[in-house]
Amino acid sequence: MAKYLRYLRIAWTVFCGIACVLVIMLWVRSYWRIDVASGSIGSIDSVQGSFTCCWWKERPTWSNVVISKNLDELQVVGDTGALTALYGFDFQRDQEGLLIKLPHWILVLATASVAVAPWIRWRFTIRTLLFATTLVALVLGAVVYAIR
């Protein structure tokens, strides 16, 4: 049984490693190309180092498209000042829908962490748990302070 778990751990690491490499390739490509995939309930785009997901309540007329253009050909329509991001992160919710914007580096960090996690042996003490809880509280407090 342990042999099969080892093979499963290797397969998981390879899968997440490939996902990490693909996100890095998308990140590099986003600086000279814009990639948009749109469907009936939302869209996903990658442009200039950020990954944006949008969900809307009503289906727009231009949905179900896949676009890949040079950034030189991109025409900005409307007010671009409405998207105010903090360190590349953005979250907006209104009557039309929801927008979540993440920098590519956080996706690379997440996929790399998930790939390495099965190989790490975790041993927690109460002191380690207290330290981790304090660190998480400080980071969340800093985020709330920066937003206000």
Q: Region 12-24: what's the mean pLDDT?
A: 90
Given pLDDT bands bounded at 50, 70 and 90, which one contains residue 101?
Answer: confident
Q: Evaluate whether 108 touches 24 at the Cβ level (below 8 Å).
A: yes
User: What are the residue ranges spanned by the domains of the chain?
Assistant: 2-122
Query: pTM for the full model?
Result: 0.64
Q: Evaluate whether 19 touches 111 at the Cβ level (below 8 Å).
A: yes
Q: Region 78-92: what's the mean pLDDT?
A: 58
Predicted local distance difference test score (pLDDT) of residue 86: 59
Between 97 and 60, name the one with better pLDDT.
97
Residue 10 has pLDDT above 70, yes or no: yes
